[in-house]
Amino acid sequence: MRVMYEDMVKQFERILTKHGFDPESAADAASIFAGNSMAGVYSHGLNRFPRVVSYLEKGEIAPDAAPTCEMGMGAIERWDGHRGFGPLNARRAMDRACDLAEEYGVGVVALGNNNHWMRGGSYGWQAADRGFIGICWSNTCPNMPAWGGKDKKIGNNPFVMAIPRSSGDHVVIDCAMSQFSYGKMEDCRLKGQKLSVPGGYDSEGRLSTDPAEIEKTQRVLPMGYWKGSGISIALDLIATVLAGGNSVSRIGTLGDEVGLTQIMIAIAPGKFNSVELTDSVVNEIVADIKTSVPAQEGGQVYYPGERALKSIQENRRLGIPVVEEIWNAVLAM
């Protein structure tokens, strides 16, 4: 089943308005959620929407909270999200980072006390749409053991980098520090599939591609083993220090995954290059990668963001694929 983007936005808008959003915020938030599904990140679009509504009902997300700037010095600012709606606060923070980059060449906004930003990549696309390089990340609840450990101490802290092209075909990498998300593992389990590469440990402490086993032990594997573990720790430290916000460990004491900390960095290539020059540099690098000899016959190499763009184009035309059960539940909300 497929649902047109505009119809999905309308439903989300209706429900968010019912839960205390003002009309403008409801429209913005609805477009972010539907946009995530349109980009193929269903886990943080429609599929996540019911959980967000339940958080609204539990009072864990404040629908009318607006983020405020607590401190600022030159090109860096510290903002408080007041446990408002994660994606709107994050969008506001990246927008402000871009404003700072317009003025100083680079801008950094550290956003504490926010909620889940859903799909991190969307803030990379946002910066790139304004012509900026975007770098951003969020911490999470403790959902992964550090390398060498068994219990969940670190976050899978999604990390995003975006490089603009004036065509809108931006290059955007959006990746969590775990090899697979819990959502992806669940998806594989439900389909009776194995993971393509080891994603964690089984109950006997061996690396495993069996999603059910990994879900049981919760010993998720950091991407690149010790590397993803180390990067995750560094991302949490930088975010927590700059935002004065909750660390991964503190988020773990809050019950639900709320009160997260995020960093938004924007850099203005336009201070050094014409748009045409930046485009030509990016195009040259991307074109070179696309000439790779495929590892599999008939295969090809994708640049980061290429598949999201394909999903967007296809889903805009044909409608967004939905899990019927979830869509019906949303219609009934």
Residue 283 — left, alpha, or beta (φ > 0 → left; ψ -120 to 50 → alpha)?
alpha
What kind and span of H or E run contains 14?
A: helix 5-18
Residue of 19, 44, 82, 116 marked active site: 44
Residue closer to a copy of itself by CB (options 11, 240) is: 240
Give 236-240 contacts, CB < 8 A, sequence gap 24+.
236/139, 236/154, 236/155, 236/157, 236/261, 238/263, 239/110, 239/137, 239/138, 239/139, 239/263, 240/139
Q: In angstroms, what is the minimal distance from the CB of 67 to a copy of itself?
A: 16
Is 44 a catalytic site residue?
A: yes
Q: Hey, what amino acid is at 80? A: D
CB of 136 to a copy of itself, least distance (A): 12
Distances (CA, A) of 29 to 22, 34, 90, 293: 10, 9, 11, 42
**Rounded least distance, CB 218 to a copy of itself, Å:** 12
Q: Which is nearer to a copy of itself, 168 or 299 (CB)?
A: 299
Find the shortest distance in angstroms from Cβ 97 to a copy of itself.
10
Encoded tokens for 184: 């992806």
**Cα 112 to Cα 4, 138, 157, 200, 284, distances in angstroms:** 35, 10, 14, 30, 38
Distance (Å, whole) CA 78 – CA 93? 10
What minimum distance in Å lies between the beta carbon of 243 and a copy of itself? 9
Separation of alpha carbons 32 and 95, rounded Å: 14
Q: Which is nearer to a copy of itself, 75 or 326 (CB)?
A: 75
Q: Which residue's CB is nearer to a copy of itself, number 244 or number 321?
A: 244
Give dist(CA 89, CA 65) in Å, integer.
9
Q: Which is nearer to a copy of itself, 238 or 333 (CB)?
A: 238
Least distance in angstroms from the C-beta of 48 to a copy of itself: 21
DSSP state of 113: E
Residue 309: both structure tokens together: 């763009």
Which lies closer to a copy of itself via its Cβ, residue 9 or residue 171? 171
- C-alpha count within 13 angstroms, C-beta hemisphere, residue 279: 9
Cα–Cα dist 311/114, whole Å: 29
Q: How far is the CB of 244 from a copy of itself (least distance, A)?
A: 7
Helix (H, G, I), strand (E, B) or coil at 221: coil
Residue type, 36: N
Task: Output 191 or 206, the one with its CB closest to a copy of itself.
Answer: 206
Active-site residue set: 44
